[in-house]
Chains A and B, each alone.
Chain A
Amino acid sequence: MRLAPPSSNSRWRDVGVTAGAFGLGLLFLALFLLVAGFDVPLALGALWRGAFGSWYALTSATLVRATPLILLGLAFTLGSRGGALNIGMEGQFALGAMAAAWMGTHTGALPGVVALPMVLGAGMAAGALWMAVPVLLRLRFGVTEVISTLLLNFVAEAAVSYAVTGPLQEPSGIYPQSASLTMAARLPKLLPMSRLHLGLLIAFAVAVVMAVVLKRSRWGFELRAVGAGPRVAEVSGRIRAGRLLAVALLISGALAGLGGAVEVSGVSYALYLNLSPGFGFTAIAVALLGRLRPGGVVVAGLLFGALEAGAGGMQRDAAIPAVAVQVVQAVVILTMVVAANSGQRTANGND
């Protein structure tokens, strides 16, 4: 089953579909707010200001919010291109954050150049390890990764809850959170007077690498073949699809874990309960809106970063709960999967 619409010959048509999906999501939100009796212009104005209204909003809200979405969107993209759906990014993010928090409070006097890679590496390793369970279940027992990754999200939530009230709790033992990261373990800021941190550039770099790997490497080609025609890949391409997909899923888990580590090391500086406001699910919308292409994911991630930043503004200025933007995300996802399928049907219309 195709998830994202294939790129057509016309770039403008592609942009149209994507913009249409996003616009439709906003339209639904506006309609809903209207029905619910909110002041729609006020709400949308607050949304806009929250995302783009000031230099601070743009850099400290939108771009900061976009960073994990891009990383997780890329994580979902990699699995999906091979035909595996990683619905467990929320859990891998949490585990990555947990590992990063542990590492970041134990680096002692190490300088940043050593501490930072250790923190981010710990997050990636934890994310991959968390993904190793579904991978094993799939390879050994044939359990679809969809359900297993989904269930592990709840286990991860319990694990974080345990960590912040137990082994990782801050020294005073009062608050359900970890101690703060050492200064060296924090990602440097990119701009003065802004919360924007190095994580955004890391996300861009991952996108570039993934684009090159998918397009130019044999591994990427084989992964795409497994995703588009698993039996063809095995029978005619002599590709060991199971192993290839396992590696792709582990990398996907590692990227989601990296997302968690970047969030801890760049934004929160400590592990909290509910650190992610649903990044793992929003990222599915990001990946689909970006047509499962790294470049597209970056653009879609920025768009959704703006949306979520705007939602914060909406909550502050118009008293509309930020969860409302999940409606936009749902509509975007539904629009994109429907567009994917109608595109497919016209392509093979004569069967």
Chain B
Amino acid sequence: MLTLSHISKSFGATLALDDVSFDAAAGEVHALLGENGAGKSTLVAIAAGRMPADRGESRVVSRERTPYSPDTSDDSRPTTRLSLVAQHFTSIPAFTVAENIALAAGWQESGKALGVRARETIARIGLPLDAEAVVETLSVQLRQRLEIVKAMASDPQILLLDEPTAVLAPREVTELLAMVRAFAARGGAVVFISHKLPEVFAVADRVTVLRQGRVTLTGRVAEQTPRSLALAMIGEAPAQPERVAVTPGGTRVHADGLLLRPERGGTPVGPITMECMAGEIVGIAAIEGNGQRELLRAMAGLPEITRVDGTLRVSGAVGFVPEDRTTEGIIPEFSLTENFVLGRVRERWMDWGLLAADCDLALAEYDVRGGNAASAASALSGGNQQKLIFARVLSRQPDVLVAEDPTRGLDLHAAAAIHARLRSAAANGAAVIVHSSDLDEILDLADRVLVMANGKLVTVPAGASRDVVGDAMLGLPTP
């Protein structure tokens, strides 16, 4: 149904896709596996007609899309019934569910007629949603559901799913995978993008692995092992550092009955009672929008979160790694030195020569590659930008380190370097509190796991299994 042959695409000097061929037949789920930055999203964007390929051909059913067709005009709607669920939500928060479906499916109705059609469509797809609800009031899981409903509303024959499980807890993942299988069973073709091996084994018939823009493996899932796929994805696996047993020191963070008002108002988060000692890594497992952002930012002392009730004691200097590198961590047009010294300098005048020398030392120590003290931060890759942020935060030797999803969007090598930094910070006596959207990362990294659901802290027994933690993230009762 969908055939991509010999596709190449580059952005500037970076070759994102290099002679990639890929196809998906009716009735099958074809998984596209690869690390962040391997070229998966670029490939589906080309398949969906959202982006032109430099070379090669993309064919949907019997219709042809020539490589140089003017599909870049922002007017192009997929000509066949092909739907893409993009990695980032593409709904308008201020609009209702019905208006968003209408936009995506190209409906002409408005007012009452629109409400009727939306309700009918939602019922037909079988993923319940309130058609009149304004999207910004929905939970992240319901917004993800809306993305799927939008894609299904035009009754597609081909479904492209770009990491649809990223914000879901294990139980919801299972539901989604069942829906995907059912779609294929009705004769649809599915391209399922992921970087998580278990999902691929659970849902896909065939698998293609991309690495740095090239196909490194393609074949039936049944003939693969986790090992063979992992090798195709990342080549040499980064060495896993030895876990050093830590003996926690004194209490650095202490919250008792803490109630926090979120940035944009709404129900307060909490009450939260917890501690974090010097030398330990506390992992906070939670799905987006469950109060972990407020808790972490309150501990980091950011003024936008206000305390309603309870106590929060944080002793010593705090270092904070924000979730969104590009809007909160790095000023792209500033030099590495300027980014490095942000918030560090207390003197009235800046000695740029001295600061640049400091920065160069830190760049070497934290293995930041791709630029020197004078180059612009925009020249760095995402992983190196994150290393620069860690250099800034850790070179001040904080007593408490708060990190929001510090490896989001990084490839495995860069993520491993960040993990090592977090561990060494703890080993050097910092109290480390880290949140991640990836449950496995939390389980792997943290000495102690805390779960947040609906703004409350849920206790999970020490050494709880992945599924128990996953259910707790959904707010389901723990055994």
* A–B direct contact (CB < 8 Å): yes
Given A225-B342, A347-B376 in contact, is the A236-B350 Cβ separation under 8 Å? no
Taking CB atoms, residues of chain A closer than 8 Å to B350 are 216-218, 221
Residues of B within 8 A of A239 (CB): 343
Among the 9-residue stretches B50-58, B126-134, B325-333, the one with 4 or more Cβ atoms under 8 Å from chain A is B325-333
Is there contact, CB below 8 Å, between A233 and B342?
Answer: yes
Q: Which residue of B lies closest to A217 (CB)?
A: B349
B89 touches A (CB below 8 Å): no
Contact among B343, B347, B376 with A237 in the assembled complex (CB-CB below 8 Å): B343
A274 interfacial contact with B, CB 8 Å: no
Tell whether, in the assembled complex, residue A348 and residue B328 are in contact, meaning their CB atoms are under 8 Å apart: no
Known: A231-B328, A232-B327. Is A218-B334 also a contact (CB below 8 A)?
no
Q: Which of B327, B329, B333 has the most CB of A within 10 A?
A: B333
CA of A237 to CA of B392 in the docked complex: distance in angstroms?
Answer: 10
Q: Which B residues lie within 8 Å of A235 (CB)?
A: 302, 320, 322, 328-329
Q: State the CA gap A221–B339 with chains docked (Å).
A: 11
Instruction: Give Cα A224–Cα B342 distance, bound, in whole angstroms.
Output: 11
A residues less than 8 Å from B87 (CB atoms):
none
Complex: A232 Cα to B338 Cα, angstroms: 12
For B329-373 the 0/1 string (1 means CB < 8 A from A) is 111111000100111011111101000000000000000000000
The answer to the question of B426 belonging to the interface, with a C-beta cut-off of 8 Å to chain A, is no
Interface: A6 (CB within 8 A): yes
Question: Contacting A218 at CB < 8 Å: which of B328, B348, B378?
Answer: B348
Q: How many Å lie between the Cα of A264 and that of B133 in the bound state?
A: 61
Report the bound CA distance from A288 to B459 in whole Å.
Answer: 57
Tell me, yes or no, whether A228 is within 8 Å of chain B by CB: yes
Please determine whether B342 and A236 come into contact, CB atoms closer than 8 angstroms: yes
Q: Cα distance A325–B341 when bound, in Å?
A: 44
Across the two chains, which residue of chain A brings its CB closest to B345? A218
B345 lies within 8 A of A236 (CB): no
Contact of B345 among A6, A221, A228, A348 (CB under 8 A): A221
Residues of B within 8 A of A6 (CB): 333
**B333–A228 contact, CB under 8 A?**
yes
Instruction: State whether the Cβ of A350 lies closer than 8 Å to any Cβ in chain B.
Output: yes
Residues of A within 8 A of B392 (CB): 236
CA distance A96 to B333 in the complex (A): 36
A41 in contact (CB, < 8 A): no
Distance between Cα atoms of A234 and B305 in the complex (Å): 13
Q: Is the C-beta of A229 less than 8 angstroms from some C-beta in chain B?
A: yes
Do B327 and A231 have beta carbons less than 8 Å apart? Answer: yes
A11 interfacial contact with B, CB 8 Å? no
CB-CB under 8 A from B334, the residues of chain A are 224-225, 228-229
B11, B302, B333, B341: the one within 8 Å of A347 (CB): B333
Closest-by-CB residue of B relative to A228 is: B331
Q: With A and B bound together, what is the CA distance between A238 and B392 in angstroms? A: 13
Contacts of A224 in B (CB 8 A): 334
Task: Identify which of A2, A225, A236 contacts B329 (C-beta below 8 A).
Answer: A236
B14 within 8 A of A: yes
User: Given known contacts A218-B347, A221-B338, A350-B11, is B376 in contact with A236 (CB within 8 Å)?
Assistant: no
Q: Contact between A236 and B333 (Cβ–Cβ < 8 Å)?
A: no
Most buried by B among A233, A236, A348: A236
Q: A349 in the interface, Cβ–Cβ < 8 Å?
A: yes
Q: For the complex formed, measure the closest distance between the CB of B147 and the CB atoms of chain A, giving whole angstroms.
A: 22
Q: Is the CB of A218 within 8 A of B343?
A: no
For residue B389, CB closer than 8 A to chain A, the reply is: yes
Residue in chain B with minimal CB distance to A239: B343
B322: which A residues are within 8 A, CB to CB?
235-236
Of the four ranges (under 10, 10 to 19, 20 to 34, 35 or more), the interface on chain A belongs to 20 to 34
> Using a CB-CB cutoff of 8 Å, which residues 190-237 of chain A contact chain B?
216-219, 221, 224-225, 228-229, 231-237
A259 to B40, CA, bound (A): 58
Q: In whole angstroms, what is the CA distance A219 to B350 when docked?
A: 9
Residues A348 and B332 in contact, CB atoms below 8 Å apart = yes
Chain B CB count within 10 A is highest, among A216, A232, A347, for: A232
Point out the residues of chain B lying under 8 angstroms from A233, CB to CB. Answer: 331, 342
Is A232 within 8 A of B378, CB to CB? no
Which chain A residue has the least Cβ–Cβ distance from B352?
A216
Q: How far is the CA of A350 from the CA of B346 in the complex (A)?
A: 36
Q: Is the CB of B349 within 8 A of A216?
A: yes
Bound: A218/B338 CA distance, A = 11
Distance from A173 Cβ to chain B, minimum over Cβ atoms (Å): 52
How far apart are the CA atoms of A146 and B388 in the complex, in Å? Answer: 35
Contacts of A217 in B (CB 8 A): 348-350
A350 CA / B330 CA spacing, docked (Å): 17
CB distance from A312 to the nearest CB of B (A): 40
Q: Would you call A236 and B11 a contact (CB within 8 A)?
A: no
Closest to B328 in A: A235
C-alpha gap A234/B350 in the complex (Å): 19
Q: A340-351, CB under 8 A of B: which get 1 and which 0?
A: 000000011110
Does B12 interact with chain A (Cβ within 8 Å)?
A: yes
- Separation in Å of the B142 CB from the closest CB of chain A? 27
Contacts of B333 in A (CB 8 A): 2, 6, 228, 347
Q: Which residues in B have their C-beta under 8 angstroms from that of A221? A: 338, 341, 345, 350
Report which of A2, A234, A348 forms a contact with B378, defined as CB distance below 8 A: A348
Are A232 and B349 within 8 A (Cβ)?
A: no
Residues of chain A with a CB closer than 8 A to B341's CB: 221
B283 nearest CB across to chain A (Å) = 22
Bound Cα distance A348, B334 (Å): 13
Does the CB pair B328–A236 fall under 8 Å? Answer: yes
Q: Shortest Cβ distance from A303 into chain B, in angstroms?
A: 26
Which residues of the other chain, B, contact A234 by a CB distance below 8 angstroms? 302-303
Interface set, chain A 326-347, CB cutoff 8 A to B: 347
CB-contact partner of B14 in A2, A228, A232, A350, under 8 A: A350
A contact residues around B11 at 8 Å (CB): 349-350
Identity of the chain B residue whose Cβ is nearest the Cβ of A220 in the assembled complex:
B350
- B12 lies within 8 A of A232 (CB): no
Write out the residue numbers on chain B whose beta carbons fall within 8 Å of the beta carbon of A348. Answer: 332, 378
With a cutoff of 8 Å between Cβ atoms, the chain A residues found around residue B320 in the complex are: 235-236
Do B349 and A349 touch across chains, with their CB atoms under 8 A apart?
A: no
Give the contacts of A232-251 with B (CB-CB under 8 A). Answer: 232-239
Report how far A234 CA is from B376 CA in the complex, Å.
20
A232–B328 touching, CB < 8 Å: yes
Shortest A350–chain B CB gap in Å is 4
Interface contact B348-A232, CB-CB below 8 Å: no
Contact A232 B347 (CB under 8 A): no
Residues from chain A with a CB closer than 8 A to the CB of B378 are 347-348
Name which residue of chain B comes closest to A229, CB basis. Answer: B331
CB B54 to nearest CB in A, in angstroms, measures 14
A6 to chain B, nearest CB (A): 6
Q: Which of B303, B329, B352 contacts A232 (CB 8 A)?
A: B329
A229 CA to B334 CA, complexed, in Å: 9
Sample of 16 more A-B contacts, CB < 8 Å, known A217-B349, A236-B329, A348-B378: A216-B352, A217-B348, A218-B345, A218-B349, A218-B350, A225-B331, A228-B333, A228-B334, A232-B342, A233-B342, A236-B322, A236-B330, A236-B342, A237-B343, A347-B378, A350-B14
User: Could you show 28 A-B contacts with beta carbons less than 8 Å apart?
Assistant: A2-B333, A216-B349, A217-B349, A217-B350, A218-B346, A218-B349, A218-B350, A221-B345, A224-B334, A225-B334, A225-B338, A228-B333, A229-B330, A231-B328, A232-B327, A234-B303, A235-B302, A235-B320, A235-B328, A236-B322, A236-B330, A236-B392, A239-B343, A347-B376, A348-B378, A349-B11, A349-B12, A350-B11
The residues of A with any CB-CB pair to B shorter than 8 Å are 2, 6, 216-219, 221, 224-225, 228-229, 231-239, 347-350
Question: Which 6 A/B pairs are nearest by Cβ-Cβ distance?
Answer: A229-B331, A237-B342, A237-B343, A350-B11, A235-B328, A350-B12
